[in-house]
Structure 1
Amino acid sequence: MLTLAGQTFRSRWTAFVGTFVALALGVCLLATTGLTLAASVAGTDRGPQWYRHADVVVAGPNTVSVTTGTGDERMTSTTGTAYSAPLPADLSARLAGLAGVAEAVPEHQAPIEVAGVAGIARPWSAAALGAYTGLAGGPPTADDQVVLTAPTDRRPGDRVPAQTSDGPRTLTVSGVLTPAAVAAGENPPAVGYLTDRAAAGLAGDRITAVALRAAAGVSADTLAERVRAVAPGSRVLTGDDRREAEPDPDSDALAIAASLLGTTAGVATFVSIFVVAGTFSFAVAQRRREFALLRTTGATPRQIRRLVLGEAVLVGLLAGAAGSALSLVAAPPYAHWLARSGFAPEHFTARFILWPLLAASGVGLLVALVGAGVAARRAARVRPVEALREASVDHRVMGWGRWLFGLLFLGGAAVLLAVLPNIGVSDGLALVMLVAQLALTAAGLLAPVLIRVLVHLLGAPLRGQVGTIARSSALRALRRTSATAAPILVTVGLAATTLALTATLWQSEQQSARDRVTATAVATASSPVGLAEPTVTALREVTGVRAAVPSRQTEVYVDSGDYPEEYSARYVGAGLDRVLRLPTVAGSIDGLTGTDTVAVSSSMGWRVDEQVRVWLADATEVRLRVVAVLADSIDLDRTLLLPWELGRAHPSDGGADVVYLDGGDPAALGDAAGPGGGRVSPALDHLVAGDAEQYERNRVALLAVLGMALLYTGIAIANTLVMATNDRRRELAVLRLTGATPGQVLRMIGLEAVLVGLSGTALAALVAAGMLAGLKARLTEVVAQPEITVPWLPITLVAAGCLAAAVLASLIPAALALRIPAAQLAAVRD
């Protein structure tokens, strides 16, 4: 049968072009996302920069763990944290006295902005450990001096403004260091070297690392073993691992890229499987007459299946190689676009990595075998006479399997849809995609039933012989109609469901947040340093100010029972209820004071006075008492409110990113905030501007996720319609021989394509409408007056593009076929 498959492939190669194109482009889509995802996960391969000349670096832990079970069933789940925990204050002195240590340099780090450039303040003693090519000027000798790192336009002797965690300062540039990374063309984080005393003061005397130099004759590995015995629980780093104690300027961007590309890979896998499986199934269904003839000549069902699977293997191998090669061309431009859009580091690119290509080719081959195998099983199961009859008219398209799995996928989409309001847009993009995929898969499985109804309704206005033939043709060949409408369904459906669901969630989330704010104005930080305590105090002392409440975004990790789960959190100052309308259902927000309290939403299941285990962003474990429980709300769900005093004790994030203000003259507030790097604006203007910026970022993120997938499905629409039209050449000849003119035949083909396109679009609209109705019903529980938001323009453009592709892909091959004389065309073999 494999020999026969090869012969069939050679003799009917034009029939395999459609499946080859679908599979090759599907593999290309998978491999392209796989290559960029692999590049984002691989991260940077740079060596240590700050600690190039240190033999061992000791840093605090940057993970949190939860252990469950006992004995053989004991399991530990670990999650990385945003920052490292501080080291004990006496650890540097203990390590300095350790045998084999020539020098121990304690590291203090704090955010700083010098001359408008955000960076990190470090002690000058740590500079000797780094990779630098030269110093212009001299070291800092006074607490108001700073050494900057190149590139900078500042020179020794310049007086520069600075924003620090202690407030605004004016510093004198004593020197400029050139990092080796800059000389090599890299872009390391900016550093401001201060005196050791000044750096320790800005860091609140927190030690972030201790760098050690080994004495003569002592190896780094030997010293590391001695250090581990003295500093249990700390990270002891040697070799290239020393860079883990340094801030990675690309880490946040790489994490965003990895998250976005993970979602993109999921969407790519879905559309590839959907399109490739449907195309193979359709291609096999087109050849039922051929299989029927093979059955009449004695071929067994097993031989039919082997024949089809053999053909699928041949097509799969060739298409996998072609798609993988094409992805090597497509991946770098896609990676560069991600970098230009701010979703990846500046120099992010994709390069040749073998495993994504092998994985994409393997998935493509597997999908080809499954798609062809399912269709072949049905074709091989019928008796020869039934197969001949079934080759002309579709009788039974829906089997029990399609009903069962269609309803199961639909139920899964409904269940996940109910969870969406508890997550929101920022964290729920992947879930939105999954809901859309489940709903569209259900619609695809149930399409034969739904398409029949839609064709009747949409085709009712068609009059005349041409319109009647187009409608009856679509209804008679229901399998073909469903197969050609499927890529339109997935293309329009993906665009409509994801864009409408995310827009509705976003609008509800932002409207809820705007309704919650009662502050008259807000002061926001213009740099990552934030607004320091002196600036907050200055705002609070402005005449007429009734409340000035600082707030800072952070993240925490909660013991969920099986693993440490990351949650959003905000440190907030006293008087929060004066600037925000908080829906407290138990306890009082006034109790959010000290360093051991927390306020949570009711969805977390905690009760007032309950003690909860929480890890802060710097991996510090704390036990907090619940003092207030807030009603479920889309903008506060999965958010913990922490007391400002706790944030002061853990200043890794810097100062306040926003200060909510009640009362006060705007001009006086601006004068108070300006020296500290703050901007004052009306609360509503600030929220609207922030909403617009974040919405645009979400829109571009959706484009990154959907862009290539929609391009692929758009090509799949044309590919499927070309396959379907080419298969109807004898039908076109019969119409010509019965007296139809070429114009009438083309109008019939065009009307049927429009009917199929509108049916696929209508089915996608039904899916989107159902999802939106379910989302709105769920939103009424967490939003006062939820509104459905549909971005009509992009959805309409996608639908119009799909319809145009369907019509052109039907008319062009039909017009080419009609150029052949009707008698000759009627003699063409099926």
Structure 2
Amino acid sequence: MIGLAWHTIRARRSSLVGSFVALALGVGLLAGMALTLASTIGAGDRGPTWYVTPQVVVSGVDTVSVTTGSGEDRETESLRTDQRLLPADLVAKLSTVDAAVVVDHAVPAAAAGAPGDTLHPWSASTLHPFGWVAGGPPTAAGDIVLTAPTRHRPGDEVTVHSVRGAQRFTVSGVLDGAPPALYTTDAVAADLAGGTARAVAFAAPDGGSGSALARRVREAVAGDTDPARKVRVLTGNDRRRAEPDPDGDKREVAISLLATTCGLAGFVSVFVVAGTFSYAVAARRREFGLLRTAGATPRQVRRLVLGEALAVGVLASAAGGALGTAIAPPFAAWLARSGFAPDDFTAHFIFWPVAAAFGTGLLVALTGAWLAARRAGRVRPVEALREAAVDGRAMPVVRWVVGLACVAAAVPMIAVFSSIRSADATALVMLVAMLLIVACAMFAPLVIPPLVWLLTAPLAAARGATGMLARNGARTAVRRTAATAAPILVTVGIAAATLISLGTLFSAVESATRDRITADAVAVPAGSPGIADATVEALRAGPGVTAAVPATDTRVFVRDGDSPADWLGRYIHGPDAARVLNVPLDAGSLADLTGTGTVAVPAGRWKLGETASLWLGDATPVTLRVVAVLTPQVDLTDTVLLPWDLRAGHARPLADVVYLRGDPPSTVDGVAVVPVGDFVSVADREQRDTNRLAAIAVLGMALVYTGIAIANTLVMATADRSRELATLRLSGATPRQLVRMVGVEAVLVTCVGVLLAGVVTAVVVAGMRSALDGLAPSVPIDAPWRVLGGITAACLVTAVAASVVPAALLLRRRPVELAGIRE
């Protein structure tokens, strides 16, 4: 059997090379995505960069947790929040600890031409090493110290935008080697912070024990049991947890994006590899028939096939692992450049993702080969020889079982996401599309004959030899047609279902957003970290302005079963909201959204007059009275409206946007006033750009792989048709006619794949539109026809080229030589 296996390997090089390429690239894709995802683990672990010199740091908590069960069954789910500020009385209490104490106030602030987005007291400069570029520390209330690189020098005047609006300061010095920040005198920083602090840092006097200092600090805060005032006492590398983590959100985005990408990569890899190996074995029925006639047992046939699959699988999976290791770093770098990951994010070699991809590829290859080999080993010798010409039973039991299972799984999912009437339906889009694609691939042998008959009706009417041959070949060799159409189905199906569904969702959100804003103009920050209350008052007092309503978005956290859920919280002045926003309500009134104990909630979870328990963005637990219930809308999903006065001490003391009614001034220091249409258009354009890059990140690598798979599968299929082409040549067909026949068949295969992909897309998009119906003023189907047309055209060109070129090369041989090429 070893000699026989070696002979078949040499005789069927094209088939084995095709299998090798499909598996190597599939494992490479899966390994590359898995490596990139695995590289996010621990990516944020580092030592402190701000709190370098103190031994102990006290800061507010930055997590919310839900604990369930008890004993061994006790489980806790946590989410990261903004860091809670330390109140002024707690700061005063901590300042009495016997140690060198630095109270680190941190205020959002920015100055043109200077790095950093927070302002700190000068005493905080001792918390980390630094050097001087020029000048010295601030001594007067109007002094400020900047960090390099900056164009400013000591003596320059700069405008600083902070919680007090625009203020003028004089540069007293420029630091080198310090983290980006702005420094004023301690008194000015404390005044701007309202007495609150981001952290309090401690250093033991005269090189004393850090552990003893930490114990004294813990004793100082031990008596305060109010959960809203809970603090953390941090030492060692944990001190970095008191520092802002500007890359935290990017890491979460990268993890979410890469999880989706990795799932899609796994699906297309398994789909293509299983199909390729199954087809490669099924195409050898004549060879197996000869082996059975020569006395080989079914077990020997299966051992032969599995032995070849094992040899190819090991080599190809190893090559794929090396390829994945090579493509992961460039992909990670692209994610960082595109803003989906931190700037310093890199992918590095980790053994277990590569090993998992290796094992997955090998298992899928052996499974695909084994399923096909079982059927090949069961047939009688004469039947095998007869089946080599025409597909008799193209729908084995396995196809029925897998196809029906996928349909059975997809139907309830479609029903669910069509009825939940929420944007959350998008989470099921790709999964439903995958199930339907597999189902279409399994049932392809049933639908291919009528589809080909329909597509080739014009060719039949023309009565040309080329059209007749192509038509008959595609209809009778249904296994070959199904196998070659499968990569086209997955390429177009995944792209179309995903892009059209997400485009439709975004169009619905855009429609709702445009309908929501009834203001005449919108004020947005310009060169400042936000809009200060003083600036809001200046806008409100402007001539011709009848309403100026600020709003700030934050995160809130709501218990969802056994874990906290991340929702959107929007602070807004309720009594004036109706003058600038069209917020549909099921019950209550936004005019009651006042004080610090009220909330407006989405319908379905709470009722009017009930109390809602949640955590604010800084992890502060609150219980608020429901004064309004929002009508379900696509842009208000998982959103609560909070009273403006509750923002103090819990959210950034700056507004993200101010909605204006009347005729506002065109220029205000630190603010840009723009028409509502321009504001929405810019936001929509930015969102579309982000969505486009996200689609590239999720679909790009997978579509490149499936594109290669199209070419690979069709090259294999054409190379295995040497006997058929030889017979046609001996029957009088010319090489040109046969090349045209192969080209027409490639076009038919592409059409079949695209039509099946169209069925998948239509079902998914119909479900998505049903889910969004009534959640927005309009739900237009938004299809990127140019992109989808380009993908379809690329599939067609690839299919034709991958079929015609190998056929033309085969037909350069004499018919007799061609007929014996496999024997």
TM range (shorter): over 0.9
Alpha-carbon contact 2:162-2:528 (below 8 Å) kept: no
1:205 aligned onto 2:201: no
Residue deviations 1:766-814 (CA, integer Å, cap 9, x gap): 2112222222233223123321111110100000000000000001111
Shift of 1:129: 1.3
1:778 aligned onto 2:771: yes
Structure 1, 110-119 or 300-309: larger mean CA deviation: 300-309
Letter of the aligned partner of 2:660 in structure 1?
Answer: L
Alpha-carbon contact 1:146-1:171 (below 8 Å) kept: yes
Matched with 2:666 is 670
What secondary structure is seen at the aligned counterpart in 1 of 2:634?
Answer: coil
Residue deviations 1:455-484 (CA, integer Å, cap 9, x gap): 221121113221111111111111111110
What secondary structure is seen at the aligned counterpart in 2 of 1:333?
Answer: helix
Residue deviations 1:151-182 (CA, integer Å, cap 9, x gap): 111111111001101211111111111125xx
Alpha-carbon contact 1:332-1:351 (below 8 Å) kept: yes
1:224 aligned onto 2:214: yes
List runs of 5+ in structure 1 lacking aligned partners: 181-187
Alpha-carbon contact 1:585-1:630 (below 8 Å) kept: yes
Structure 1 vs Structure 2: percent identity of aligned residues?
Answer: 53
Structure 1, 283-292 or 697-706: larger mean CA deviation: 283-292
Q: CA RMSD of the aligned region, Å?
A: 2.3
Residue deviations 1:268-311 (CA, integer Å, cap 9, x gap): 11111111111111111112333344445555544444433332
What secondary structure is seen at the aligned counterpart in 2 of 1:468?
Answer: helix
Residue deviations 1:173-214 (CA, integer Å, cap 9, x gap): 11111125xxxxxxx5x2011222222222232222121112
Which one of 428, 433, 445 corresponds to residue 430 of structure 2? 433
Matched with 2:283 is 286
In 1, Cα distance between the equivalents of 2:472 and 2:420?
42
Letter of the aligned partner of 2:204 in structure 1?
Answer: A
Shift of 1:737: 0.3
Instruction: For 1:140-155, list aligned pairs within 5 A.
Output: 140-155=138-153
Matched with 2:712 is 719
Alpha-carbon contact 1:600-1:629 (below 8 Å) kept: yes
Letter of the aligned partner of 1:809 in structure 2?
Answer: A
Alpha-carbon contact 2:14-2:719 (below 8 Å) kept: no
Letter of the aligned partner of 2:304 in structure 1?
Answer: L
Matched with 1:452 is 449
Instruction: For 1:401-800, list aligned pairs within 5 A.
Output: 401-411=401-411, 413-415=413-415, 417-418=417-418, 422-423=422-423, 431-463=428-460, 464-527=464-527, 529-574=529-574, 575-602=576-603, 604-651=604-651, 653-663=652-662, 665-666=663-664, 669-671=665-667, 674-675=668-669, 677-800=670-793
In 2, Cα distance between the equivalents of 1:678 and 1:220?
47
Which one of 253, 265, 268 corresponds to residue 265 of structure 2? 268
Structure 1, 5-14 or 777-786: larger mean CA deviation: 5-14
In 1, Cα distance between the equivalents of 2:420 and 2:327?
33
In 1, Cα distance between the equivalents of 2:719 and 2:758?
29
Alpha-carbon contact 2:111-2:528 (below 8 Å) kept: no
Alpha-carbon contact 1:59-1:87 (below 8 Å) kept: yes
Residue deviations 1:207-252 (CA, integer Å, cap 9, x gap): 2212111244644344435544544653332222222221234333
Matched with 1:184 is none
Letter of the aligned partner of 2:245 in structure 1?
Answer: D
> Taking structure 1 as reference, are residues 97 and 682 closer, same or farther at Cα in structure 2, changes over 3 Å only?
closer
Letter of the aligned partner of 1:160 in structure 2?
Answer: V
In 1, Cα distance between the equivalents of 2:526 and 2:742?
61
Letter of the aligned partner of 2:257 in structure 1?
Answer: L
Alpha-carbon contact 1:412-1:438 (below 8 Å) kept: no
Structure 1, 479-488 or 621-630: larger mean CA deviation: 621-630
> Taking structure 1 as reference, are residues 402 and 137 closer, same or farther at Cα in structure 2, changes over 3 Å only?
same
What secondary structure is seen at the aligned counterpart in 2 of 1:42?
Answer: coil
> Taking structure 1 as reference, are residues 733 and 529 closer, same or farther at Cα in structure 2, changes over 3 Å only?
same
Letter of the aligned partner of 2:577 in structure 1?
Answer: L
Residue deviations 1:16-59 (CA, integer Å, cap 9, x gap): 10111011111111222223323334324543221111112222
In 2, Cα distance between the equivalents of 1:366 and 1:235?
48
In 1, Cα distance between the equivalents of 2:80 and 2:728?
68
Letter of the aligned partner of 1:202 in structure 2?
Answer: L
Letter of the aligned partner of 2:674 in structure 1?
Answer: S
What secondary structure is seen at the aligned counterpart in 2 of 1:461?
Answer: helix
Shift of 1:746: 0.6
> Taking structure 1 as reference, are residues 198 and 375 closer, same or farther at Cα in structure 2, changes over 3 Å only?
farther
In 1, Cα distance between the equivalents of 2:156 and 2:733?
88
Matched with 1:319 is 316
Shift of 1:528: 5.9
In 2, Cα distance between the equivalents of 1:334 and 1:454?
40
> Taking structure 1 as reference, are residues 576 and 610 closer, same or farther at Cα in structure 2, changes over 3 Å only?
same
Alpha-carbon contact 2:615-2:621 (below 8 Å) kept: yes
Alpha-carbon contact 2:407-2:436 (below 8 Å) kept: no
In 2, Cα distance between the equivalents of 1:227 and 1:4?
78
Residue deviations 1:674-708 (CA, integer Å, cap 9, x gap): 22x11111112211221112112211211121111
What secondary structure is seen at the aligned counterpart in 1 of 2:536?
Answer: helix
Residue deviations 1:699-755 (CA, integer Å, cap 9, x gap): 121112111111111000000000000110110000000000001111111111100
Alpha-carbon contact 1:164-1:529 (below 8 Å) kept: yes
Which one of 349, 352, 367 corresponds to residue 355 of structure 1? 352
What secondary structure is seen at the aligned counterpart in 2 of 1:344?
Answer: coil
> Taking structure 1 as reference, are residues 722 and 52 closer, same or farther at Cα in structure 2, changes over 3 Å only?
same
Alpha-carbon contact 1:409-1:441 (below 8 Å) kept: no
In 2, Cα distance between the equivalents of 1:262 and 1:797?
27
Letter of the aligned partner of 1:804 in structure 2?
Answer: V
What secondary structure is seen at the aligned counterpart in 1 of 2:117?
Answer: strand
What secondary structure is seen at the aligned counterpart in 2 of 1:569?
Answer: strand
Matched with 1:345 is 342
In 1, Cα distance between the equivalents of 2:513 and 2:630?
14
In 2, Cα distance between the equivalents of 1:648 and 1:135?
37
Shift of 1:422: 1.7
1:196 aligned onto 2:195: no
Matched with 1:183 is none
> Taking structure 1 as reference, are residues 70 and 326 closer, same or farther at Cα in structure 2, changes over 3 Å only?
closer
In 2, Cα distance between the equivalents of 1:757 and 1:495?
15
Matched with 1:173 is 171
Letter of the aligned partner of 1:805 in structure 2?
Answer: T
What secondary structure is seen at the aligned counterpart in 1 of 2:119?
Answer: strand
Structure 1, 724-733 or 71-80: larger mean CA deviation: 71-80
Structure 1, 413-422 or 442-451: larger mean CA deviation: 413-422
Letter of the aligned partner of 2:85 in structure 1?
Answer: P
Letter of the aligned partner of 1:365 in structure 2?
Answer: L
Alpha-carbon contact 1:420-1:431 (below 8 Å) kept: no
Alpha-carbon contact 1:58-1:235 (below 8 Å) kept: yes
In 1, Cα distance between the equivalents of 2:273 and 2:578?
56
Which one of 341, 345, 368 corresponds to residue 371 of structure 1? 368
Matched with 2:123 is 125
Shift of 1:412: 5.2
**TM-score w.r.t. length of structure 1:** 0.93
> Taking structure 1 as reference, are residues 323 and 770 closer, same or farther at Cα in structure 2, changes over 3 Å only?
same
In 2, Cα distance between the equivalents of 1:41 and 1:102?
37
Alpha-carbon contact 1:416-1:431 (below 8 Å) kept: no
In 1, Cα distance between the equivalents of 2:797 and 2:149?
53
In 1, Cα distance between the equivalents of 2:770 and 2:269?
32
Number of matched residues? Answer: 808
> Taking structure 1 as reference, are residues 530 and 14 closer, same or farther at Cα in structure 2, changes over 3 Å only?
same
What secondary structure is seen at the aligned counterpart in 1 of 2:459?
Answer: coil
Shift of 1:327: 2.8
In 2, Cα distance between the equivalents of 1:220 and 1:10?
72
Matched with 1:234 is 231
